[in-house]
Amino acid sequence: MTRAPSLKTRALGYLAKREHSRLELEKKLAPHAETPEELSSVLDGLEQRGFLSAARLVEQIMHMRKARFGSLRILQELREKGIEENLITAVLPDLREAEQRSAYEVWRKKFGAIPADAKAFGRQTRFLLGRGFRPEVVRRVLQHPDKEEG
């Protein structure tokens, strides 16, 4: 008869595949924990040893998402993962700085042509808004697509 892996082993297995927030690991490990205190103790130990890092998770998400998505979508994802608001506030200027360029590149790859009519304009607007770009950024991209602003 084989023994079930410990909470720490399970957590390290999840973290070996990708970065997780504390909230994500709590949800994944809760069914396997005997008590909430045991789960909290394991997660605290992982944070102390540097295996579990919210700052590292934020950097990874920003790196992976900022070329394809706008700041609103990235911020929503960070909040859903339980990232503290002070860490989110710290990365906001970087996100906003690159957002115009990212919106232009996403628009260029998907459409590449100025909307011919109101229907096309609406479709392109909804697409960019759905990707989480701020309305003012979408407006600038669609009104002046020939000007790639930084």
Name the token pair of 115. Answer: 């909307």
Look up the CATH number of domain 1-52.
Answer: 1.10.10.10
Q: Over the range 116-140, which residues count as b (16 or more CB within 10 Å of their CB) and which as e?
A: eeeeeeeebbeebbebbbbeebbeb
Mean pLDDT (whole number) for 64-92:
94
Q: In the predicted model, is pLDDT for residue 21 greater than 70? A: yes
Q: Give the largest CA-CA distance in the chain.
A: 68
Query: In whole angstroms, what is the distance from residue 10 CA to residue 69 CA?
Result: 31
Helices and strands in the chain, H and E counts? 8, 0
Instruction: Note the pLDDT tens digit of each residue in 115-141.
Output: 999 999 999 999 999 999 999 999 999
Mean pLDDT of the residues in the chain: 92
Look-up: residue for tokens 């600038």?
140
CA distances, 48 to each of 42, 51, 59, 87, 141 (Å)? 10, 8, 19, 18, 44
Mean pLDDT (whole number) for 5-17:
93
pLDDT at 144: 80
Instruction: Note the pLDDT tens digit of each residue in 46-55.
Output: 999 999 999 9
pLDDT at 147: 62
Mean pLDDT (whole number) for 16-45:
94
